[in-house]
Amino acid sequence: MSVRRRVRAAAGGLCLLAALASRDHSRPAEAAAPPATGRAATAIGTCDGRQLGEWQFVAREQMRVQARGRSGNDWVGLTAATDGFHDWAPFDDFKTTICGALGIFGTFEPTREKEFLRFLPEIPEHDWNVILIPTANSIFDERFRLARRLMERGHEGDLVTCHGTPCFEAEVTPQSRLLKANAAGGWLTSCRRGQTLCTFGPWVGDGGHGYRPEIHPAERIWWRDGDRLKLIAVQDASQRFRDHRQFQWADTREPSRWHPWAAPSMQGEFRVAFEAAVGSAAPAEFLVEQMLDTNVRGVTPAVPAADMQYAFTHQGTDVGSVRVRLGLGATSERLELNLSTLDIAPDEVCLRPDGRTLQGYLRLHDVIGYRHQEGEGFNTFEVVPPPLLTPVPATAEPPCPACTASARDDARETLHVAVLIVAREELVDSSTTMSETVLADLLRAATEKSGFEPALARAAREKEQASDIVLQSARRFRLSVRPHYDGPRGERLERAVNKGDRESFRKLLAAAGAPVPETVQWDVRIQNYSQRTAEEPGRCRPDGDPHLLAGDECVIDLPPAAAPGDVVRVRATARLLDGQGQPIPGSTVVGERGGGASPAQQEIRLASHFIRAANVASRERILAWLAHAFAPTGDLVKAATAEDEVPVDLADLRPHRRSYHARMLRHGLVLAGVDQRITLDELRQFVEMAQLFADLPPLGDIPAARAVK
């Protein structure tokens, strides 16, 4: 007998033995259900603390589902994506999961008002806009609050609000087949408003909207529909995140595992948590139906059969089993499953220390997308998991067909107006200073905390080298104000605002029954922190032609009495007034006069001095200084630069929370350094984030930024 034949015979014998062995283990289950067509037995260990805590978190906070990237697809890094017109700056090194209640579900398609444009083929811009209100008192809400601190100053109005509550957008451009299937099947629609959804993807700031936080592209989305879990893995088809040349490479280096966020062969997985009692006669049973898939690729290891039973032994004793039945959903275009593209199997199964229960996940691993045009892929599943031994208390979420959401979408019926301010420092003194006194005064102006002068003065000295923090000053601020509209005809209003088209602006507002802003009213307060003077009124002097409204282009000059080394803080509030001098309300119900909403206004805080952050080295020095000065306990720098994510543990969330505080602070420094300046508001946010890292409050007590920059 040749060697090859001997090997084959031995392998065949082993398979036979394995089949016989697994048959014994699964015999009790077969009484209740048809026998599984494939079997496998695995020895498992005892769960460690990390496994227990992570499983609990996934089961309790993420609707039993965990989304992960694989083969480097979990890494986002520091490098922003760009298409030359917009950029998306990362807030975290890792792709992030955020769960929350669906506030708005919308789709965006570029308008084609000009007739001739309709002859052109469609631009691949059919976004899903999944707008979520992060779950209250959760790490998701904390991430959102932190991200809001990193927004551009004067752009609070760019935040999306859901009934007055700030919310964020998870955005993705699905492949066209998924768009159609979703619309036809009513999978993800606005009728799920209020229902909890989770999204996974890069946690970024959208530069087109003052770096407001979003998950973009949202590559994994899941929700519960009755006893079923709906799982969507989707590769973004907007052609914006798939090539390394579409990234705004700055002076930072990425580790070798970095690749474009939505590059083809996008590898990742859903993991659905399960638990089972040891010695249970029936296996924990999963039913997995593939609803629709396109451009999915082969995986390793592929599932051997569509009906598998997995038995688990612990120290030679049978402790339980899991059965996985795979099928095709009614919407699938396949006639039979392509097993070579499916890696669906139990993962990280372990016996809990109590010895009575085991826990684990069902892994649904996929590789999606090809390099060619329209090669973007997606994969959708419905999973019926086995019930948990201790069900998670959940609010009743009616399945979609029974949804009772109002047909009137509030966001569409109400016209919201916000005030955006763009500020630029001018008359910048070319000389620099490393004065600790100036830095301490700037810290006082930034933190606005009275009674902390000694601590701030000490913080100003907490530098490794005197040259770590270099300051520069400006004597003038140029402010531009633009009203920002959301709601009916919001895009057209935005275009009129951007063009300074006063006539169209008036007509559009008149059609909505909304008041027409005519002027910008400024309230300017100036305070010299070095001279410790009281706040004094100032003036924003109109400069140049107004863009749209009287007073929307103006400059604030620092008082001549302020010495060059004096730290002067400016608070400027812009309000919109109508022709009669009445404040414009922040929202108007279309078709109804009045409204009584709070006035549309925005405050911005500026200072005579800013910290220079010209390159990666200076940003690292600033991070080290913030760590020494405001977070002496814990290693903020190490946490901020770690290349591995700290696992989440429901029993003790602090290490995980600290790690993303640190990373988001580091990312904020990159974002702030775009103009090579760390300004007053940015400094304030960074100091507070460092303090939060050092002294984490309970999740319910996470402070909101006192003013978005």
Partner 1 sequence: MLDSSSLFVLGSPPSLWRRPIRRLSLPRGGVFCLALLAGAERASAQTIDPIFRSWRWTEEVTTARTFGMGSAITGLADDSAAAAFNPAGLATIPRAGELQFGLKAANTASLDNGDRIHNLAKGTTPASLALRLGTRVGLSYQFLELRSASTITFDDGRESGTLKTSVNGPGIGLGVRVSPFVNIGLSLNAYRFYINDGEYTRVTDGHPDRVVRFNSNGDTRVAGTLGALVKARELSYGLAFRLGRRWRARRTAIDPSTSLVIDEGTTFDVRSPSVLSSGIAWQPELRRAQSFLLSAQLDRVFLGGIEASPAIGIPFPASDYRMKSAFEFRAGGEVTIPVLGRWASHGAGRPNRLQFRAGFHHQPAGSFVYEGPDPIQQGLFPSAGARNLVSVGTSIGGVTMWRLSAAYRFGGDNRQAVVGVAIRYPGLFP
Site of interaction with partner 1 (CB under 8 A): 80, 82-87, 89, 120-125, 176, 207-208, 211, 238-240, 243-250, 254, 256, 258, 370-375, 674-675
Nearer to partner 1, 639 or 669 (CB): 669
Nearer to partner 1, 237 or 288 (CB): 237
Nearer to partner 1, 363 or 495 (CB): 495
Least CB distance to partner 1 at residue 139 (A): 28
Least CB distance to partner 1 at residue 671 (A): 9
Nearer to partner 1, 410 or 675 (CB): 675
Judge contact between 471 and 425, C-beta under 8 A.
Answer: no
Nearest to 470 by CA among 425, 508, 432, 524: 432
DSSP 570-592: EEEEEEEE-TTSPBPBSEEETT-
Residue 234: exposure state from Cβ atoms within 10 A (0-12, 13-18, ≥19): buried
CA distances from 28 to 33, 145, 279, 351 (A): 10, 51, 10, 20
CA–CA dist 463, 468 (Å, integer): 6
Least CB distance to partner 1 at residue 540 (A): 22
Least CB distance to partner 1 at residue 185 (A): 20
Least CB distance to partner 1 at residue 179 (A): 12
CA–CA dist 30, 220 (Å, integer): 35
Nearer to partner 1, 46 or 176 (CB): 176
In this structure, are strands 196-201 and 414-428 parallel, antiparallel, or unpaired? unpaired
Nearest to 668 by CA among 90, 252, 87: 90
CA distances from 511 to 154, 415, 514, 574 (A): 28, 11, 8, 25
Strand order in the sheet with 343-351: 45-46, 343-351, 357-368, 266-277, 65-69
Nearer to partner 1, 112 or 449 (CB): 112
Least CB distance to partner 1 at residue 550 (A): 27
Nearer to partner 1, 614 or 704 (CB): 614
Least CB distance to partner 1 at residue 444 (A): 29
Nearer to partner 1, 211 or 270 (CB): 211
Least CB distance to partner 1 at residue 81 (A): 10
Judge contact between 155 and 211, C-beta under 8 A.
Answer: yes
The three-class DSSP label of residue 632 is coil
Nearer to partner 1, 49 or 72 (CB): 72
Nearest to 470 by CA among 610, 644, 282: 610
Least CB distance to partner 1 at residue 667 (A): 14
Tell whether omega for the bond before 301 is within 30 degrees of 0, i.e. cis: yes
Least CB distance to partner 1 at residue 240 (A): 6
Least CB distance to partner 1 at residue 153 (A): 13
Nearer to partner 1, 191 or 296 (CB): 296
Nearer to partner 1, 197 or 368 (CB): 368
Least CB distance to partner 1 at residue 652 (A): 37
CA–CA dist 285, 573 (Å, integer): 60
The three-class DSSP label of residue 429 is coil
Nearer to partner 1, 87 or 214 (CB): 87
The three-class DSSP label of residue 618 is helix
The three-class DSSP label of residue 106 is strand
Assigned token pair, 167: 């919310």
The three-class DSSP label of residue 90 is strand
CA–CA dist 307, 35 (Å, integer): 8
